[in-house]
Structure 1
Amino acid sequence: MADRTVPPALNRPGPDRFLWTLDKFTSGMEWLHRNSRRNHPPARPVDRDIPLVVSEIQAAVDEVVSLRLTDPGGGVLPAWQPGAHLDVLLPSGRKRPYSLCGEPGERGYYRIAVRRLADGGGGSREIHDLRPGSRITARGPRNAFPFITAPRYLFIAGGIGITPILPMVRTAAARGADWRLVYTGRSRESMPFVDELRSLAPERVWIRPDTEFGIPASGAELLEHAPRAATVYCCGPVPMITGVRVDLPGSGADSLHWERFSAPPIVGGRPFDVELARTGIRLRVPADRSALEVIGEAVPEVPYSCRQGFCGTCHVRVLAGAVEHRGRAADGRMAICVSRAADRVVLDL
């Protein structure tokens, strides 16, 4: 998964009432998706620490590096499936999730690709500072974006969102499924793994850089490439995913699975207070920010992963106060990445 900054919140109607209404609608669709019986269960946290060494670094495209990670002793690494990621523990203490984008079934090494974000949370810059021979620790692999078996697929990727999609494409091709890939980005020069993808089956891959078409693609345009009754897998920036979700009912596709590399927009947020019991720190969470974001400024080592409320990494025990749950949390715990409090909450931090 990429290390991305949190997008601005949409809290109330502004000058563009249509966009506010659209965000409300798509947020409701996401709640139904996350809570439907057809949805997959949340990924279980994996506490297995894996020592790794950076054995190879390649510049995939401008500002994107591809890293090959191996066992320091040359041993076999834990198995993984398409859609899986590693939680990488960085030298600063930050923990960041990065999708595995190597060959499915390969256990001699892991491959991740990371875009450097100058205005991000710092994780991508740390990855870009690594060198061959650098030692890191990872946790996992675990899968919050599982790849299901289907006869037909449409894969849609935007920018660095190609990383979880690439192993899915390889798996679909190996299974003999009917598949298509639409890959978008700002420019061809900013899109990693283009040559690798085209070598699989050029007639099934459409590369669509914005610079060559003038504007970003709409959801309907992307879905035009779907085989009949296709299962759609989509990963990339929030506007692209939102367009696909809104236009899916009018397409010939059957179902949609998506993963985004940023936190969901905050809709209907209200300010509240957080007290961290172990340190006595008291914080004010504004209406347009998450508790995780605010707490992270005071306690940089606070763990998190998906920032969407389902992985469980950031769940914290609630000692006092009423919580407005917006994620999967139970047994008196709060998903601080998405949940909010009615007024004041005391956390076991």
Structure 2
Amino acid sequence: MAGTGGTDRLVVRAKDRVADGVVALTLARPDGGRLPDWAPGAHVDLTLASGATRQYSLCGDRWDAHTYRVAVLREAVDVGGRGGSAYVHDELAVGDTVGFGGPRNHFPMVPAARYLFVAGGIGITPLLPMVGQAELVDADWALLYGGRSRDSMAFRDELARFGDRVRLHPQDEAGLLPLASFVGEADEGTVVYCCGPGPLLGAIEDATAHRPPHLLRTERFTDAELGAPVRDEPFVVELARTGVTVTVGPELSVLEAARRVGATALSSCEQGTCGTCETAVLAGVPDHRDSVLADHERAAGDCLFPCVSRSCTDRLVLDL
């Protein structure tokens, strides 16, 4: 069996093709033991044989205490992939093991009278358990699910049991998703969840711009395009647990600078998308540059992701 590093391991119990370019992995502990509980929106970190760590949304049965399921889209390295998905598709086999961490949830499902779910491509994965939860609690809900083609859209068979609550919208048959008509008339008791590629998230933000911002919740699989940092000048970071300070220049991330003076901080993607390195801010104003926090969470200013975020002020005090 191929093994990986990591503090814990999962073994691949099944590997199934669920759409063109998408495989689903069923994962379990080697001894069959209980796995940590999770809630809709959660993801796990998987460490592959190369040492690379990737984040995948859990999309199986949350009530199954002994297996996890994730789905992996094959991405071309030259158009934004980093090689992890090719390894999963071409080399990872049933019986192999992967390191894992988590689950973590930066896309939680909040209570609401009504839900509208919008998925683009592999963005269906975190929404699939949300649909199940909405059905379980007898909430009013609907799902608009788009993809390049019908054959590229994973879990269609699982969604078929929900009837007309689910609208499949293959782009080669029907064009772009009709976002304005789907979410435009939603009342203030409706929460909209959307996951998919950057252009879809930008379009859903435009379509819901008239609504209170906390009623739209999105998750990105790639980092958002950002402008220049608020400030170019160096700033000081104080590590509150030790009292050590370090100056962070433009050539260093806060995470790198903190590690140079002995801080221990977990991290994974180091691109501001996975949420692993979330750190509490005790003083100062962070310059948020992640793709995790919602607008109201950024405004609170009580945490940051030091792999990408910086400072608006001369000094930041962090819980490190």
* Fold shared, TM-score > 0.5 on shorter chain: yes
Percent sequence identity over aligned pairs: 38
Residue number in structure 2 paired with 1:32: none
1:124 shift after superposition:
1.1
CA distance in 2, matches of 1:226, 1:202: 21
Of 67-76 and 225-234, deviating more is 225-234
Of 141, 151, 162, 2:113 maps to: 151
Residue number in structure 2 paired with 1:212: 173
CA distance in 2, matches of 1:338, 1:138: 25
Residue number in structure 2 paired with 1:278: none
Does 2:44 align with 1:86? yes
Give structure 1 stretches of 5+ with no counterpart. Answer: 1-47, 274-282, 293-301, 316-322, 343-349
Contact 2:268 2:274 in 1 (8 A): no
Letter in 1 for 2:57: S
In the alignment of these two chains, the number of paired residues is: 271
Contact 1:179 1:227 in 2 (8 A): no
Residue number in structure 2 paired with 1:184: 146
Of 170-179 and 48-57, deviating more is 48-57
Of 4, 9, 15, 1:57 maps to: 15
Contact 1:232 1:254 in 2 (8 A): no
State the TM-score, normalizing by the size of structure 1.
0.67
Contact 2:184 2:208 in 1 (8 A): no
Contact 2:277 2:307 in 1 (8 A): no
CA distance in 1, matches of 2:69, 2:278: 25
Residue number in structure 2 paired with 1:307: 271
Q: In the superposition, relative to structure 1, how do residues 227 and 210 fare at CA in structure 2: closer, same or farther (>3 Å)?
A: farther
Q: In the superposition, relative to structure 1, how do residues 225 and 174 fare at CA in structure 2: closer, same or farther (>3 Å)?
A: farther
Contact 2:55 2:274 in 1 (8 A): no
- Structure number with greater CO (CA < 8 Å, separation at least 6) is 1
Contact 1:100 1:112 in 2 (8 A): yes
Of 122, 138, 159, 2:83 maps to: 122
Letter in 1 for 2:32: G
CA distance in 1, matches of 2:135, 2:213: 19
Residue number in structure 1 paired with 2:221: 261
Residue number in structure 1 paired with 2:33: 75
Contact 1:68 1:110 in 2 (8 A): yes
* Pairing of 1:154-173 with structure 2 (within 5 A): 154-173=116-135
1:310 shift after superposition:
7.9
Contact 2:11 2:98 in 1 (8 A): yes
1:227 shift after superposition:
6.8
CA distance in 1, matches of 2:67, 2:158: 18
State the TM-score, normalizing by the size of structure 2.
0.72
1:219 shift after superposition:
3.5
Q: In the superposition, relative to structure 1, how do residues 228 and 338 fare at CA in structure 2: closer, same or farther (>3 Å)?
A: closer
Q: In the superposition, relative to structure 1, how do residues 220 and 334 fare at CA in structure 2: closer, same or farther (>3 Å)?
A: closer
Contact 2:113 2:189 in 1 (8 A): no
